[in-house]
Structure 1
Amino acid sequence: MDFSAALVGLGIYLLIWEKLPEWGTWFNRMIASLPGPLAKLYEDWRCPYCSGFWIALALHGLVGMTTLGEAYRPAFETAWLTTPMIWFLDALATATLILIGKLALSALSGPALKGHQMTAEFKKAKTVEAENA
């Protein structure tokens, strides 16, 4: 099992659905200028599992990145049937890893943010205390 497709997919997900909308207004204007069905697709694919599936299919088709790799082969070999099935199952596996990665990052970011805020408050209190002394 190769995790590179899931890591790249998670990076693409974080960039497109979490970071670009926060970096100025140009990206949001671009999304707003899309035709209605495409803008709705962008909004509907906010789920890391849903978008992860399509990102995984695109990565497999464009650059050949897979999660299951050559180790996974069905018992029978009929190219017209097994190739789409392998792509579909690989995309499901990759989407699951992308979802797990997103959930892990979300779980870690809460305590990390709280710790950062507490540190900032502590430093501010020490600065005020030093100025008053």
Structure 2
Amino acid sequence: MPTGKVKFFDEDKGFGFIASDEGSEVFLHISALPAGTTSVKPGTRVEFSVADGKRGAQAMTVRVLDAPPSLVKLSRKPADEMAVIVEDLIRLLDNIGGGFKHGKYPESSNGKKVAALLRKVAEELDA
């Protein structure tokens, strides 16, 4: 069976193209993807069978060999760096909590900085 990489795939339109290792381009319809798969990312290595369609070569049965690595996961901070950031965040929130116990909200500029920091840490944890 030939192999190649997904050149592009439009999930909304339900099709894309595979750049085969032999150098040809093969049409990829969503129906050729494995059961339960609705999309493939560009760069995904696939193995496929080919049939001649109305407009040229068309992939009939596709098997995903390996997906490209997630750019988000590659850009994540190492866990030991996140440990330090979370510990500092806990200290910062403890200080703010002490102010709340005395009936004081943090200053507006400080509150905005803490809120932005919380959002960034949440994004990092969610990646």
Interval containing the TM-score (normalised by the shorter chain): under 0.3
User: Relative contact order (alpha carbons < 8 A, sep ≥ 6): 1 or 2 greater?
Assistant: 1
Q: 1 or 2, which has the higher helix percentage?
A: 1
TM-score of the two chains, using structure 1 as the length reference: 0.26
TM-score of the two chains, using structure 2 as the length reference: 0.27
